[in-house]
Amino acid sequence: MKDKSVCEEQVFIHIHQEQSVPLRNFLYYRFGSLEKAQDCAQESFVRLWENCSKVAFEKAKSYLFTIANRIFLDDVSHQKVVLKFEKHESMSSIQMEHNPEYVYRESEFKSQLETAVSSLPDKQRTVFLMSRIDKIPNKEIAETLDISIKTVEKHMTSALKSLKEQLDELKDFKI
């Protein structure tokens, strides 16, 4: 069977459908500006299309994420990342009642967690959010970012523990 080529329009559109939102989100987690993340994701797809004959189909994903990372680094001087999130409609208030350890009003908990997430080291934060928000399996995160699964797992655990510690400190501080 002939290998898939990124230069085929259907293949390209398929990659675009699969990856445009995860790519935009990755850039947001990493650098903190949604608008720039969107532009930069688009620019990365333009580069992929321009270089379609040089990029193997299996490498298209990691090519996109690598090139996006580079475009973004060239573009902005690195600023402090401050992330804000929207929330899916859900049963969050019910869950809160079952999990009353951090007894904040919901909006307060959200903003404190946002601050804590924003202050995580870049790679931890990016991997953690790709896994939790975009539900990307560890193996795929590893492939996309060109790191080992062990590293992905380490980032995940460190991120969660560090978030808990930050919230604990805030709580102690309040009392």
Partner 1 sequence: MSTHNNDTDPLIQEWMQGNLTDDDLEQRIGREELRKYQQILSEVDQWTPSLSDEVFDPREILDRKSAKVVPMINWRTISVAASVAVILTLGFLFFRDTGTEYYAAYGEQLEFELPDGSDVVLAANSTVRWEDEDWSGETRRLVLDGKAFFKVIPGSKFSVMTDQGSVEVLGTAFDVSTFGVGMWVNCYEGRVLARDVSKAKAQIIKAGQSSLLVDGSWERIVPIKDESPLWLGKKPTFKNTPILLVIKEIESLYHVKVITGEVDMNRRFTGSIPTDDLSLALKIVFGTLGIQFEIDEDQVLLSQD
Beta bridge partners of 52: none
User: Taking Cα atoms as reference points, which of 70, 67, 75 lies closest to residue 33?
Assistant: 75
Q: How far is CA 175 from CA 96, 161, 168, 169, in A?
A: 21, 21, 11, 10
User: Taking Cα atoms as reference points, which of 20, 129, 21, 28 lies closest to residue 76?
Assistant: 28
What is the closest distance, in whole angstroms, from the C-beta atom of residue 21 to partner 1 in the complex?
A: 5
Q: Is 108 in the site for partner 1 (CB under 8 A)?
A: no
d(CA 175, CA 167): 13
Q: Is 139 in the site for partner 1 (CB under 8 A)?
A: no
Selected from 3, 9, 74, 146, the binder of partner 1 by CB under 8 A is 9
d(CA 106, CA 175): 18
> How many chain residues are in contact with partner 1, going by CB under 8 A?
57
d(CA 60, CA 53): 11
Q: Which stretch binds partner 1 (CB under 8 A): 61-69, 74-82, 140-148, 157-165?
A: 157-165
Contact positions with partner 1 (CB under 8 A) in 14-73? 14, 16-17, 20-21, 24-25, 28-29, 34, 37-38, 42, 45-46, 49-50
Selected from 2, 80, 88, 105, the binder of partner 1 by CB under 8 A is 88
Are 148 and 127 in contact, with CB atoms under 8 Å apart? no
d(CA 118, CA 101): 22
Selected from 4, 57, 62, 102, the binder of partner 1 by CB under 8 A is 102
What is the closest distance, in whole angstroms, from the C-beta atom of residue 2 to partner 1 in the complex?
A: 15
Give contact residues for partner 1 (rule: CB under 8 A).
7, 9-10, 12-14, 16-17, 20-21, 24-25, 28-29, 34, 37-38, 42, 45-46, 49-50, 83, 85-90, 92, 95-96, 99-102, 109-110, 113, 117, 128-129, 132-133, 138, 153-154, 156-157, 160-161, 163-165, 167-169
